[in-house]
Amino acid sequence: MVGLARPQAGCVRQNLDWLKMSSNYAIKRDLEELVQMSDKLHEYMLSDALYMPVSGGFFRGSSTPQLTTGAFLLRRRRLSRLRESLDAGQRALLDATLKQHDDMQREWRLHYEKKLQQEVNSRLKMMVAFFRECSESPRDCAAAYPVEAMRRTIVQEILLAMDEFDYDKSELLPKVQHCDAGLRQYLRPSAFIWAPLLEPLYPRAIFWWLFARPEAG
């Protein structure tokens, strides 16, 4: 059973992510954020922090989403899929950034796995408050959903990476399934909720919550 958790600073950052995803997605900005996160990855891996400011800090006006393994992996897979949309210089920068990440993941394999597990648990726990909100106020549920869709998407990116890196996710899957059962109670099918450019990167069979919305009531 997923328990309640106090919202963390990183959840507010996801509002920024949502605004970028919804209709203003820019691949250049995505790459810039990936590079900024990569520069902090080693420090992040050695710290106890789950959400780490990248530039300027949480209360200093920075528009860069906070660094987590999931936030990095979200951009890693997306930009890899959109690689041919980048110019030669951007592709070289992307390749160097991804190599830096992959080398670090292999070097700090156990630390990396621990971060992934902690992040999945944290994000799923934060979604419990959303389910309570939906049961109390359909209007608030609809307004809050974009952040939850981002949160659930990052969880899925982590699960995909755990398969890639041959990590054991068996303890996490029942929690994810429990969360999805809660989501399905409140969502109804819709068109893809993010920018059209991103739709081919998120197949409906896997990212079904990106093709659904709560009813406003």
**3-state secondary structure string across the chain:** CCCCCCCCHHHHHHHHHHHHHHCCCCHHHHHHHHHHHHHHHHHHHHCCCCCECCCCCCCCCCCCCCECHHHHHHHHHHHHHCHHHCCHHHHHHHHHHHHHHHHHHHHCHHHHHHHHHHHHHHHHHHHHHHHHHHHHCHHHHHHHHHHHHHHHHHHHHHHHHHHHCCCCCCCCHHHHHHHHHHHHHHEEECCCCCCHHHHHHCCCCCCHHHHEEECCC
- Host domain of residue 161: 9-214
In a domain, 111, yes or no: yes
The answer as to whether 127 is a domain residue is yes
Is 161 contained in some domain?
yes
Count how many domains the chain has. Answer: 1
In tens digits, the chain (217 residues) has pLDDT values of: 333 333 444 444 455 565 566 667 899 999 999 999 999 999 999 999 999 998 644 334 456 689 999 999 999 999 999 999 999 999 999 999 999 999 999 999 999 999 999 999 999 999 998 998 899 998 899 999 999 999 999 999 999 999 999 999 999 999 999 999 999 999 999 999 999 999 999 999 999 999 999 987 6
pTM, two decimals, is 0.88
Is 103 inside any structural domain?
Answer: yes
In a domain, 1, yes or no: no
